Structure 1
């Protein structure tokens, strides 16, 4: 099953003049984020990553907190995640796609007012980083529009996954043209994950605390057509390094 960048469509509502004025005042106080483009994203993120070596983030939801460690050998993805989180961009997001036994996907919301720009992140595939249970990775558009498998600017997902049989894992090795290490084989066949996504999407971190929260989100009732949670699961992301 492939993860794609999808948009959650929410019904809009009409507001009174007083409410619109209040919104305008609030917008002036919101933190700002300089939008990036495909032309300057790598340069900006490279420089930002050197100035901000942070590698721990806490994703807070109504179900509890998920603490993740960001990999330093995926520097562009780490810098991008830290940059958006520190700017408050992810505080306007939610887990908008939930597939039990597969993954929960977040980072987007139709209610967001902050803009990040229309850019993609070059893939940073690393055979050391695979889609084990708890892996943090970036979503992307499909192969036809994105042959280089560049990542979305902001949509991320956390793998829930299931235990994989040795026979299934061998099939995925052939499919993805890769060879799993004994440790990776043990993890997939005893803990679980989603090997179908390996070398297709960039894994740039992992859950170190709060996998129970991921499981709770995965249990949310969803719309059968789009896998959208019927009850919004908002998230806020704080860079903590603790």
Structure 2
């Protein structure tokens, strides 16, 4: 208490000739006889740490084709998660991602951790065939793609996974894509009871639905337009299952 009265008295005497900065510096300087008790440093939450990291991130892109394979390979080693949950208004779909398709698994986990799938849709529904997600007509989706990067994932057919019912596979661009590389952003789930084996070695299967095929079947029954786009948006979100 004595220290604070002394400081206040000093400030009142010299306030006419001190600017705010120097007054603040004087007020914060402890005397040799008194040590102030420091408040414990509060541990930052995960959200606060993520917000700090976002401020440090470059404007983009985060991933580029020239460095894609080493970057995703390293990311996969550091992020071994292989189970995700896709949340929709129809319910949840749980998916296991395969480790023998390492680039596709690492890319999908990367997108989940960078919140890419927030406010994307199941944007294509072909009943008796597939339901496809990871795109939207919202400006936010294009902005996120620009920020993350414009790249293709090399096919990983050597793993030998087939397009059976419940297969989790990567969409791809049809034009000028002789290597059958995958789109990094869009996926589809085979809904057909008999599978979709004409897609084998055309698209990379990199996971399987472990729970929630009833949800996939419900999505497959919604009304769509001539382009197989649902008349009512089916928002999705994806989270990692710990």
Q: CA deviation at 1:127?
A: 5.6
Mapped partners of 1:106, 1:69: distance in 2: 16
Q: Deviations over 1:67-87 (max 9, x none)?
A: 000000000000000010111
Residue 124 (1) aligns with residue 145 (2): no
Tell which has more relative contact order, 1 or 2 (C-alpha 8 A, sep 6+). Answer: 1
| Aligned counterpart, 1:237 | 238
Change (3 A) 1:29 1:230: farther
- In the alignment, which of 136, 142, 148 is matched to residue 179 of structure 2? 148
Residue 227 (1) aligns with residue 228 (2): yes
Q: CA deviation at 1:128?
A: 3.4
Q: CA deviation at 1:35?
A: 2.9
- Structure 1 unmatched runs, 5+: 1-27, 163-191
Mapped partners of 1:217, 1:88: distance in 2: 22
Residue 217 (1) aligns with residue 226 (2): no
Mapped partners of 2:137, 2:69: distance in 1: 26
More helix by share: 2
Matches within 5 A, 1:191-210: 192-210=194-212
2:96 touches 2:209 (CA, 8 Å); kept in 1?
yes
Q: Deviations over 1:38-63 (max 9, x none)?
A: 11221211110000000000000000
- Structure 2 unmatched runs, 5+: 1-50
Q: Deviations over 1:78-120 (max 9, x none)?
A: 0000010111101131100000000001111122242321100
2:101 touches 2:159 (CA, 8 Å); kept in 1?
no
Mapped partners of 1:147, 1:47: distance in 2: 27
Cα RMSD (Å) of the superposition? 1.9
| Aligned counterpart, 2:192 | 161
Mapped partners of 1:229, 1:126: distance in 2: 34
| Aligned counterpart, 1:67 | 94
Q: Give the TM-score taking structure 1 as reference length.
A: 0.72
Structure 2 SS opposite 1:89: coil
Structure 1 SS opposite 2:96: strand
| Aligned counterpart, 1:105 | 132
| Aligned counterpart, 1:138 | 170
Structure number with larger C-alpha Rg: 2
Residue 58 (1) aligns with residue 72 (2): no
| Aligned counterpart, 2:7 | none
Q: Give the TM-score taking structure 2 as reference length.
A: 0.72
